[in-house]
Each structure stands twice: as structure tokens, then as C-alpha cells.
């Protein structure tokens, strides 16, 4: 299914046909997601247009000579600047009304990785994660240490009003006025009165990218890259970090296995080590689509959790699946936003739970 989004008034319908990801670029394989959750209908179009824009910018970066990591960072930049998504400018507020951002990136050939957690008031945590990978002997910086490092690298924090979407500030004020009741229940109720608060705000997605770049020196022919970025969950405890920046959970890349980016229930994805699990399965010979689907099934079976996952292996095979009602993402054929169907779909097979 190749959807033309040139008409901004077009309503993106659920997929009712088999969809096959066509591998058309000789040098690049790329998948980008904008979160897997119960995306409210009023935001279907914004999600589709957002991931399409990120995909196009990433491809343009590659055609201009960008590396695989450049491609990943360019896609994340677009998504972090779009208030539609729970990352960067569209992030939720924590229990104190602050934005705390997490991001992680990884290269599959060298297994180099960089991550930041609990980063306040910086628009592009994914770029700071790259600084960690390239300029330090560490892989993960958090909180004030990450902020001090970002400033040393020339990144300036934004004022809260420059970063926080006004809708989130309004919803946060209503939560405070109500006495800060259980965040999950409040932000999914009509009391929140926010178009961004669906039935499962704690399972709302983040944004992520997986890429494979042709490399004739690689055993399988491709080198892998992955990146994930998030603003967390609404009303989260100060200091809460989910799967996103944790190497092997929400982000992972290994040329001997797979590049993976996860979205959904962060605590569950963290507890099953979703990214590394998929890569290890692929390394052991499991087809990548099957590895992704089995991981989502295990997440539900063991923890009653739901999520979405995109992945690429070192042979350039693409996979994507989700167990939430929706996942918006962009791939080689364009933008796909699917409803979960009982019979599944070759491109995005929702788990029939």
C-alpha cells in the first residue's frame, strides 16, 4: 500500500490489504517509526506526515553523502522537532512539570553506542548521545552529568517555554489542580481533555530509526545503525528512565544480528531486553520478522505488555510489527499506518491477542 499524502486533507485509512516492503534503494535500507499506541484519529494524519518527512530527510542526507549514523540522526532530528511525537518538542512533562529526555544510538560494525537519560531542556538528545559515543570513553550519561557534558559540547539548553508544547502544559495544570491523582488513569480520562491522551498513555510510543548501509567489506553486505528518542510518559517520576536509551532494550545494532528500535511500554521492553533478544535470535538463524513477532508475543505472554518494533538485519531484510492498535512508520514504499487485523499483514503484523 503506497499512500499519497500530498493532499493534507486526506484521511489515512486502515490497511485492508497485504502490504509488502519493496527494497528499491541499492545502497540504503531504512525504517522510521513515530510510536506505537492508540493514536487518536485526529492525529493519524500528523503522524503519517511526520514520519514521511523524517524518512525523506534521512534519504536526502544519505544521497548527499551522509553516513549511516548521519541518516539516523537526521531522521531523529526531524521527529524531535515535531510536537506531534513524544520526543524533543512534543515530550510529556514529569511529575514536577519538567521535560526529561532519553535517547540512545548504536553502530553495528563496531558495537559503539551512546546514550543519555534524564536530560532536561535540550531539543536533540539523540545528537548529544552521539557526542557521548564519539567523544568519551563511556556509553551512557544521565541527569546533571549529561547536561554538563552537553554544554561542554556546545549545546545550549532551551527555556521550558521554548520546548514544551502548550497542550502538555495545559493538561499538566489540570492534573496538578486535581491533586496529582494516578497519572495513568488521569491522562487517559476525559478530565485530561487532550487529543494526545489515549486509552493507554503509559504505552504511548517514542520515535526511532533503523538503517542498513551497503558495505562490500561486510560479511553480509550491510552495516547496521539504530537510534531511539523519547520524552517518556506523562506525570512520570523524576528520574524515570525506560527502555529507550538502554543498549539492548529499546535500541540495539549488531552487524552479526540486527538493528532494532522499540516503542511502547518501556518498562516491559526493558525487562525482556527486547533489542538484544531480537538480534541474538537473528544471529542464531531466526528470520528477522519472526524474531520481532516472537518478542512481542513474549512481552504480552510474560508481562501483559504491548509495543511496536522495527528492525533490519545485515542482509538488508526489513521487519516491523506491533501489538498496539496503531503504529505509524515510514518505509521504502511510503507511509503505513495500520489497524491491528485478525489475519495480520505482511508488512506490520499485529499480534492476534
Count CB-CB contacts under 10 A for residue 216: 6
Flag whether pLDDT at 237 surpasses 50.
yes
pLDDT at 226 exceeding the cut of 80: yes
Contact 351, 323 (CB under 8 A): yes
Length of the chain (residues): 353
Please check whether residue 44 is in contact with residue 10, taking contact to mean a CB–CB distance below 8 angstroms: no
Q: What is the pLDDT of residue 98?
A: 86
Place of cell 508488512: 347
Query: Residue 28 in contact with residue 59, Cβ under 8 Å?
Result: yes
43: Cα separation from own chain's centroid: 17
- Looking up cell 545485515, which residue turns up? 314
Instruction: List the domains of the chain with CATH numbers.
Output: 28-337 (3.60.20.30)
| pLDDT for res 192 | 53
Alpha-carbon distance values, 253 to 1, 226, 321 (Å):
28, 6, 18
Q: At what angle do helices 68-81 and 44-63 cross, to 10 degrees?
A: 150
From 24, 84, 136, 206, the catalytic residue: 206
Band the pLDDT of 25: cuts 50, 70, 90: low
Q: What are phi and psi of 30, to 5 degrees?
A: -150, 135
Query: In the block, which residue shows the cell 517509526?
Result: 33
**HSE-up (13 A, CA, CB side) for residue 262:** 39
Who contacts 164 (Cβ-Cβ below 8 Å, separation ≥6)?
A: 91, 93, 99
Q: Residue 325: which pLDDT band, with cuts at 50, 70 and 90?
A: confident
- pLDDT of 263 reads 93
Residue 24 bears catalytic tag:
no
Residue 121 has pLDDT above 70, yes or no: yes
Q: What is the mean pLDDT of the chain?
A: 81
Evaluate if residue 5 carries a pLDDT over 60: no
Q: Is the pLDDT of residue 187 over 90?
A: no
The strand pair at 222-230 and 100-107 is best described as antiparallel
Cα angle value 166/236/112 (rounded, 5°): 100
Under the banding of pLDDT at 50, 70 and 90, the label for residue 13 is very low
CA dist 325 and 101 (Å) reads 25
In this prediction, residues 176-192 reach a mean pLDDT of 67
- CB–CB of 67/208 below 8 Å? no
pLDDT recorded at residue 190 = 55
Amino acid at each position: 500500500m503506497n499512500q499519497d499524502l500530498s493532499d493534507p486533507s486526506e484521511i489515512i485509512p486502515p490497511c485492508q490489504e497485504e502490504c509488502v516492503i519493496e527494497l528499491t534503494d541499492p545502497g540504503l535500507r531504512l525504517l522510521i517509526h513515530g510510536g506505537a499506541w492508540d493514536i487518536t484519529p485526529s492525529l493519524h494524519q500528523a503522524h503519517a506526515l511526520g514520519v514521511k518527512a523524517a524518512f525523506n530527510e534521512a534519504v536526502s542526507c544519505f544521497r548527499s553523502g551522509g553516513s549511516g549514523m548521519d541518516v539516523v540522526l537526521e531522521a531523529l532530528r526531524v521527529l524531535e522537532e515535531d510536537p506531534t511525537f513524544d520526543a524533543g518538542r512534543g515530550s510529556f512533562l514529569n511529575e514536577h512539570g519538567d521535560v526529561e529526555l532519553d535517547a540512545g544510538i548504536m553502530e553495528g560494525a563496531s558495537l559503539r553506542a551512546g546514550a543519555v537519560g534524564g536530560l532536561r531542556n535540550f531539543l536533540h538528545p539523540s545528537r548529544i548521545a552521539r557526542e557521548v559515543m564519539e567523544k568519551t570513553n563511556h556509553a551512557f550519561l544521565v541527569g546533571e552529568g549529561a547536561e554538563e557534558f552537553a554544554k561542554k559540547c556546545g549545546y545550549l539548553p532551551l527555556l521550558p517555554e521554548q520546548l514544551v508544547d502548550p497542550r502538555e502544559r495545559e493538561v499538566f495544570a489540570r492534573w496538578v489542580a486535581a491533586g496529582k491523582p494516578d497519572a495513568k488513569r488521569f491522562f487517559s480520562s476525559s478530565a485530561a481533555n487532550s487529543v494526545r491522551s489515549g486509552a493507554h498513555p503509559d504505552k504511548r510510543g517514542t520515535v526511532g530509526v533503523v538503517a542498513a548501509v551497503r558495505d562490500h567489506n561486510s560479511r553480509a553486505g550491510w552495516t547496521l545503525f539504530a537510534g531511539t528518542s523519547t520524552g517518556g510518559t506523562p506525570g512520570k517520576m523524576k528520574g524515570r528512565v525506560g527502555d529507550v536509551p538502554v543498549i539492548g532494550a529499546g535500541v540495539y545494532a549488531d552487524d552479526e544480528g540486527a538493528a532494532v528500535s522499540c516503542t511502547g511500554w518501556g518498562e516491559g521492553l526493558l525487562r525482556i531486553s527486547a533489542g538484544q533478544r531480537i538480534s541474538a535470535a537473528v544471529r542464531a538463524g531466526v528470520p528477522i520478522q519472526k524474531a520481532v513477532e516472537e518478542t512481542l508475543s513474549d512481552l504480552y505472554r510474560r508481562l501483559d505488555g504491548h509495543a511496536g518494533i522495527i528492525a533490519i538485519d545485515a542482509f538488508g531484510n526489513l521487519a516491523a510489527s506491533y501489538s498496539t492498535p496503531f503504529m505509524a512508520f515510514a518505509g521504502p514504499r511510503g507511509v503505513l499506518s495500520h489497524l491491528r487485523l485478525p489475519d495480520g499483514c505482511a508488512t506490520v503484523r499485529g499480534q492476534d491477542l
